[in-house]
Structure 1
């Protein structure tokens, strides 16, 4: 009966290849295409390689193809809101190249990989070539018979995150800290209507986060993802009082051999009040957007950290502000890990880091820099890119991906 009640909280609305404008891509151009379109990509001040591109147009003829400057057909993806998405080839800084979108005149695109989205056991899974790369939990875990306090039941997080070699780099319900699950979002020290509410430490029973519904999901040769909404709830009065509505828009890019063995996804997070008052966030050392690494990385020497500023000492990395941070450790086939990239548009970017001295987790924690409020008439927005890799983190590769994320190329559409 309890499980049925939890299931009723969410509704799988649509599973389709669609999504509106998403700021992880380059700026949009709008034009009706009565004739083939020339799409010019300007590299700007940076070299580009396999950069994701998205362009809004008024019509997207389904039978048209996209070709690169050499006339080779390029895999592309159309969305329901009239966007064409693709990834460019190599482009040196200062240069530009033209892609043509028009009727098919030659061969078909060489699509090596295609994301597949499927729902399985209360989890939305995303797979490539028959292997899961990541999953999003929609319904809280079933803890019956585990001996774990039901207060730890949670949903609305990503786990597992797997490397291309199949190595998981996140954890779920780790015994040392059962409330840390994969990639998750939660505030720790908050005040709502004069009451202290903790959405991070679930065992305290003052607050929790639950998925309201999965809005929609999609799949394709260029990217796959989903939009989901969760609710932050105050439990301090004995009643469930909605505090925040959080929306995740997640877009995972199909692995590309030009990415040096890594793959990445974008997570766009938006929080608004639920209409019952503002949420105050006092200064505190942790709380925000977090990742929990594998349980066998527990200990002060088993997890390794690296920031964009070259800091490897986890104690020294704590409370610093860096545009990206990576965590890695030993897996069955050597080393693997992930990096979280902070977008410059984020509140208090570069956001300060909470890097734990012994636990394999870190988070971007804007409350470190002082108190702030999510007011009724405002929204809290954050945007991150997560890079998953086998081996040691490669700063050059992560920096290149961060540049594309933070400073995308300029694009324009021209009718010849």
Structure 2
């Protein structure tokens, strides 16, 4: 009798454990239709110890790939999945989220996002299509007599799905512009001016520092890296002024490529004063073929590069002709490609002013246009940007949907 009672208790405890390892969540569309969008939410406390998770539609039992994203510095890990089937505005949908010992196999969404790393760089591909390369090792200046242009800690190339390259590095007219980069221009540190952007001044530069982590998966691939903003004229030799962490997540989409980049900057010791200036910040240099003829720029407010300079639009799109030679092997031809960079409501001074160059293919988000501010060791400067690359003309409907999901995302709650 005692043995039977023990067995009943064991079965009951096991059932309770399984139940505790499963929760029902509800996704609410809110004011917008939702389709083909990343859904990101906090890992429920009931699953805090889960190494992996699995997700199913509550009504149909259809499995959905889901991944846990553990970003250094975040108190609560995130769960990420891709909402494929349309969820109309004002409606909700429920899913069952369970703990799992096995990583998602990728049997629902075709393929995976692969992140590869060696001593030179980190490379990301979605379904075997190249998305980006981040440079660990410094690339040397194209001009041997100007070695100060060497640079690491930038993303180039950034690709459109066809393989077309939409960025440039060391463009002949501006060797100091490097693909996707983050550098301040007019700053003051301990009473001295430092320009981290214009490397020719030999005042400052930005370099890769360390790799924190990387992960491949069927929903997203991600990597975290540390960068340093260096004072080249410190009394005892070059010294770090800012420590920066990039958390980069690439989603498993192939009609467009979607990359989210979170930057966290902290002063190493003493504050850095970012002074009011007309450019500097998170920047992108467009493809070399976009210089002549000049590429087209368009803001969310409908302005071109002339009318849009120093406005606060939320996103900026840049597109132009691409060469077939730039495409990945076996990719079809595409005569036009483009890239959009989106601001985020949590960013300082959102919507941030943008610097749109009058004739070069580059722009940047520059909150210091509105006035200076300090970056300290105790209060980090955090920025979030979404990059969307595409082939062909701008699809405003698709772009607006990605913008709405980035700035006003669906809400997720645990219902039981």
Q: Which moved more, 1:196-205 or 1:55-64?
A: 55-64
Map 1:92-131 → 2, pairs under 5 A? 92-102=88-98, 109-120=107-118, 122-131=120-129
Give, in whole Å, the separation in 1 of the partners of 2:21 and 2:272: 52
For the residue of structure 1 that corresponds to 2:200, the secondary structure is: helix
1:22-37 equivalent positions in 2, closer than 5 A? 34=20, 36-37=22-23
Q: How far apart, CA to CA, are the structure 2 residues paired with 1:61 and 1:281? A: 41
Deviation at 1:315, TM superposition (A): 1.2
Q: Do the aligned partners of 2:54 and 2:65 also contact (CA within 8 Å) in 1?
A: no
> Structure 2 residue aligned with 1:267, among 257, 261, 269?
261
Structure 1 residue 66 displacement after superposition: 2.7
- Distance in 1 (CA, whole Å) between partners of 2:308 and 2:145 is 33
Which of 50, 58, 73 aligns to 2:36? It is 50
User: Does structure 2 conserve the Cα–Cα contact (< 8 Å) formed by 1:179 and 1:200?
Assistant: yes
Paired residues of 2:300 and 2:313 also in contact (CA < 8 A)? yes
Deviations 1:325-362 (A, max 9, x none): 01110013211010000001111111101001111000
Distance of 2:189 and 2:94 partners within structure 1: 53
Q: Equivalents in 2 of 1:158, 1:78: separation in Å?
A: 24
Does 1:75 pair with 2:65? yes
Aligned with 1:323 (options 290, 314, 318) = 314
Distance 1:201 1:33, change over 3 A: farther
1:61: how far off?
A: 6.8
Structure 1 length-normalised TM: 0.84
Partner of 1:338: 339
SS of 1:367 mapped into structure 2: helix
- Matched-pair contact (CA < 8 Å) for 2:50–2:99: no
User: 1:200 Cα deviation (Å)?
Assistant: 0.1
Deviations 1:258-305 (A, max 9, x none): xxx212111111111011x11112211100000000122114x42110
Matches within 5 A, 1:14-413: 34=20, 36-54=22-40, 55-56=42-43, 57-60=47-50, 62=52, 64-67=54-57, 69-79=59-69, 83-88=78-83, 89-102=85-98, 109-120=107-118, 122-143=120-141, 147=144, 149-237=146-234, 239-255=237-253, 261-275=255-269, 277-299=270-292, 301-312=293-304, 314-332=305-323, 333-413=334-414
What does residue 330 of structure 2 align with? none
Q: Is the 8 A contact 1:339 1:388 kept in 2?
A: yes
TM-score by length of structure 2 reads 0.84
Structure 1 stretches of 4+ with a deviation exceeding 4 A read 61-65, 79-83
| Counterpart Cα distance in 1 of 2:184 and 2:355 | 13
Mapped contact 2:356–2:362 kept (Cα < 8 A)? yes
Secondary structure, counterpart of 1:339 in structure 2: strand
Aligned pairs, number: 375
Larger mean Cα displacement after TM superposition, 124-133 or 217-226: 124-133
Q: Secondary structure in 1 aligned to 2:175? A: coil
Contact 1:32 1:59 (C-alpha < 8 Å) held by counterparts: no
Q: CA RMSD in A?
A: 2.3
Gaps of 5+ in 1: 1-30
Whole-angstrom distance in 1 between the partners of 2:367 and 2:77:
36
User: Once structures 1 and 2 are overlaid, which stretch shifts more, 277-286 or 107-116?
Assistant: 107-116
